[in-house]
Amino acid sequence: MKFDTPATTNPIDQLQVVGKATPRIEGPLKTTGTAHYAYEHHDVLPNQAYGVVIGSAIAKGRIASMNLEAAEAAPGVLAIVTAANAGKLGKGKYNTAKLLGGPEIQHYHQAVALVVADTFEQARTAAQMIDIRYERAEGVFDLAATRESGKEDKEQMADTLHGDFEGAFAAAPVQLDATYTTPDQSHAMMEPFASMAAWDGDKLTLWTSNQMIDWSVTDLATTLGIAKQNVRLISPYIGGGFGGKLFLRADAVLAALGARMAKRPVKVALARPLMFNNSTHRPATIQRIRIGCTADGKITATAHEGWNGGLPDGKVELAAQPSKLLYAGENRRVTMRLSTLDLPEGNAMRAPGEAPGMMALEIAMDEMAHKLKIDPVEFRILNDTQVDPVDPKRPFSQRHLTECLRTGAERFGWNKRAAQPGTQREGRWLIGMGMAVAFRNNLLVKSGARVRLNQQGIVTVETDMTDIGTGSYTIIGQTAAEMMGVSLDKVVVRLGDSSFPVSSGSGGQFGGNCSTAGVYAACVKLREAVAQRLGVSVDDATFAGGEVRSGDKRVPLQDAAQAGELVAEDSIEFAQLSKKFQQSTFGAHFVEVAVDSATGETRVRRMLAVCAAGRILNPTSARSQVIGAMTMGVGAALMEELAVDKRLGFFVNHDLAGYEVPVHADIPHQEVIFLDETDPVSSPMKAKGVGELGICGVSAAIANAIYNATGIRVREYPITLDKMLDRLPPMI
């Protein structure tokens, strides 16, 4: 199905099932431990062996020698995989570095060997017996030192140069010129990277934890040099990914290689200390922002220039991208530069681009509002736009940013905020409020599904879409139930298997909208097949209450399948609408903090998010997504930082003891408001993504609240107390 005209009315608009707050249908399986994750398929195949990955001890150089003799002779050892005996390996489209290094080393903890044994303990013991000698080469690990060598990445983000920024900025009576930094960050998901591989002749089955099934099937086939049709990838449940599991990783490739060499099924999980350097991370950024305004607060010039580092084939982090679209103003310069660093792979992490970009941009907007002596909410409303500022002929399909700001300000009690920083106290605590805009583009990705109707009236949906804890099972089930006119308990949802039709996958907050639109398309086909079987016109038929109704005729839906199961398959393809309209999601974050006037300790006390993200398919799971994103925003603002050893080139705090993330005690009451909005341009579902919108701007809102509380402006994340101690106002 091609979606090339805005949706008006369709069966989804009945809203009998879609749009209702619904508990996740797979929840009981997860809470009872009967939902098997990648490493937990203990009973699928007999005689499973275990693999332990060895990571490189250097960041750059080569392996001079690798002595395997002691390990090969150790009890239970079945095979040891290295680059020397793995055979020729290709490199997939989505991997910057090779997933099995040697003899050349590209980054610290790049996988260099896999030890396979009868038990995990035997494999781990043998891995410690391998003697590897390295020849270390000089590496580059400091982003600030390489900033001037950064290059434009035209494929990912070409420069936006519109109007005369330099002239307009020079002429602006009120100017801001500030530089902000965000650190390297880790996904730190609960479930580690894990896989189990088994061969049947030349056919490979891989149980793994992966967000994008088809991408990874393709890359695995390319890496191993086998036909894509000989690879089956299964990933029904995923314990968090945040973008880290978008791509094929070392656990999957090495499990496949180990199983082939050992001639047994092999399961591999990356140890937590290995994950931080072996897998991808959000790269650090340096961002310079310049804003020029008229005296009454109209933006006339915007420049957002960013830098990040990556391996030689890496991709630029799109941190400056929001400044292309978010605020009005005729003159702008938006650029990103990529420097070559020999650190582990930088890549997508929840809301890549917008999340770190808004961390900087929304502090800059707060700073400019204070320069102008205009309320920060009103300053943003003053500079709202309903069209793409660079291409004014292209309107936003929906843009209710002002409504988000007004709603949030009223609900949060923004009028009680002290305009003068550092003036509101509760005993030793300095109290402040801050806010920031939320912004994330609405991405559209082709997505397919297969739908079955059996003689019992059960509707089964099959798609390779994944559920990374986001609620995909439930919204897909709700979509099928609405389309076929049955209750949710009459729908079975099967996900995460490459033998099913290719979906959008989970990432970029496009999964919910696009995968349900693909199910919608398949259900349209199934409705046609049902109508034909029953001898009615599909255009006149209503599917409701488990029946098909046409005129005076009312027939149970299951009657259509009495002559045999009905099967329909289709996909949604998004044609030209994205070129005619700019599609984005918007929101506003409001935060109250308390800062200890003696120690600089910051406590977040209240949080509110107001989101405009199209139709909310399931308010229960959507709220869960937003508060989870808000929690990540707290971590990014106050604690999360991968500490780089700039001499040896690795992340020092590579475990959950040293890499701090928020815990329950760090998170206060969180409120989420969804505007009553539908976007007929986005999809037949009239929905958009929301899971990443919740993180965009949160960190800046916290930074702005800290400024309001203390008068201290911190431009380097995370905002730890050492950056405030010597600037705190005197205790009273």
Q: Would you say the C-alpha torsion 361, 363, 364, 370 has a positive or negative sign? A: positive
Confidence (pLDDT) at 92: 92
Place of tokens 């008068």: 711
What is the C-alpha separation between 433 and 416, in angstroms, rounded? 9
Give CA–CA dist 517/573, Å, rounded.
9
Going by pLDDT thresholds of 50, 70 and 90, the confidence category of residue 579 is confident
pLDDT confidence bin for 575, thresholds 50/70/90: confident
Question: Is 90 exceeded by the pLDDT of residue 730?
Answer: no
Supply the Cα-derived Rg of the chain in whole angstroms. 27
């979509």: which residue's tokens? 479
**Per-residue pLDDT at 462:** 99
| Residue 378 and residue 393 in contact, taking contact as beta carbons nearer than 8 Å | no
Closest CA to 435 of 397, 409, 474: 409
**Residue 517 belongs to what H/E stretch?**
helix 511-534
At 661-702, the pLDDT tens digits run 999 999 999 999 999 999 999 999 999 999 999 999 999 999
What separation in angstroms does the CA of 33 have from each of 36, 43, 233, 544, 653?
7, 14, 22, 35, 31
- 578 pLDDT tier (thresholds 50, 70, 90): confident
Q: Taking the CB of residue 528, how many other CB atoms lie within 10 A of it?
A: 14
**Number of neighbours of residue 575 by Cβ within 10 angstroms:** 12
Q: For residues 527 and 566, what is the distance between their CA atoms, to the nearest angstrom?
A: 10
| Locus of tokens 């409120």 | 671
The phi and psi torsions of 323 (rounded to 5 degrees) equal: -70, -5
For tokens 């994205």, the residue is: 578
Which token pair is 192? 């580690």
- Residue where the block lists tokens 């700019």: 582
Are 348 and 246 in contact by the 8 Å Cβ rule? The answer is yes
Q: For the residues 277-282, what does the mean pLDDT come to?
A: 98
Tokens of 195: 């896989």
| 41 contact partners, CB below 8 Å, separation of at least 6 | 196, 207
Res 732 pLDDT > 80: no
Q: Which domains does the chain have, with CATH numbers?
A: 49-138+193-240+245-276 (3.30.365.10), 282-442+583-723 (3.30.365.10), 444-576 (3.30.365.10)
Question: Can you give the pLDDT at residue 577?
Answer: 85
Amino acid identity of residue 680, one-letter, is P
The predicted-structure confidence for 305-361, as pLDDT tens digits, reads as follows 999 999 998 999 999 999 999 999 999 999 999 999 999 999 999 999 999 999 999
Q: Tell me the average pLDDT across 195-203.
A: 98
Asked which of 88-97, 101-110, 222-231, 357-366 is least confident by mean pLDDT, the reply is 88-97
Q: How far apart are CA 667 and CA 529, in angstroms?
A: 51
- Beta carbons of 346 and 308 less than 8 angstroms apart: yes
Q: Considering only CA atoms, which of 379, 435, 436, 432 is closest in space to residue 707?
A: 432
Strand partners, 566: 453
Q: With helix as H, strand as E and coil as C, how does 139-177 read?
A: CCCCHHHHHHHCECECCCECCEEECCHHHHHHHCCEEEE
- What distances in angstroms separate CA 542 from CA 14, 456, 629, 685, one per listed residue? 11, 20, 39, 18
Is a pLDDT exceeding 80 seen at residue 644?
yes
Average confidence (pLDDT) over 174-184: 98
Average pLDDT over residues 146-166: 96
Instruction: Please write the tens of the pLDDT for every residue from 367-426.
Output: 999 999 999 999 999 999 999 999 999 999 999 999 999 999 999 999 999 999 999 999
Residues ≥6 apart with Cβ < 8 Å to 660: 635, 639, 640
Instruction: State the pLDDT at residue 611.
Output: 98
Nearest CA to 178 out of 282, 292, 284, 283 is that of 292
Q: Which of 403, 565, 692, 716 is catalytic?
A: 692
Q: How far apart are CA 327 and CA 304, in angstroms?
A: 12
**Residues 484, 453: Cα–Cα separation, whole Å:** 9
Whether 692 is a known active-site residue: answer yes
Is residue 56 predicted with pLDDT exceeding 90? yes
3-state secondary structure of 312: coil
Q: Collapsing DSSP states into helix, strand and coil, what is residue 203?
A: strand
pLDDT at 731: 77
- Give me the residues paired with residue 447 across strands: 572
Written as one string, the DSSP assignment of 84-128 is TTS------TT-SS-SS--SEE-STT-EEEEEEESSHHHHHHHHT
What average pLDDT does range 504-508 have in this prediction?
Answer: 97
pLDDT for 489 = 98
Q: Which of 261, 269, 315, 220 is nearest to 78 (CA)?
A: 261
Say if residues 256 and 224 touch (Cβ distance below 8 Å): yes
SS3 217: helix
Contacts of 551 (CB under 8 A, 6+ apart): 540
Question: Can you name the residues that pair with 301 across neighbouring β-strands?
Answer: 292, 331
What number of other Cβ atoms are within 10 A of residue 703's Cβ?
A: 30
- Report yes or no: 670 and 624 within 8 Å, Cβ to Cβ: no
DSSP 664: G
The DSSP symbol for 716 reads B
- Mean pLDDT score of the chain: 97
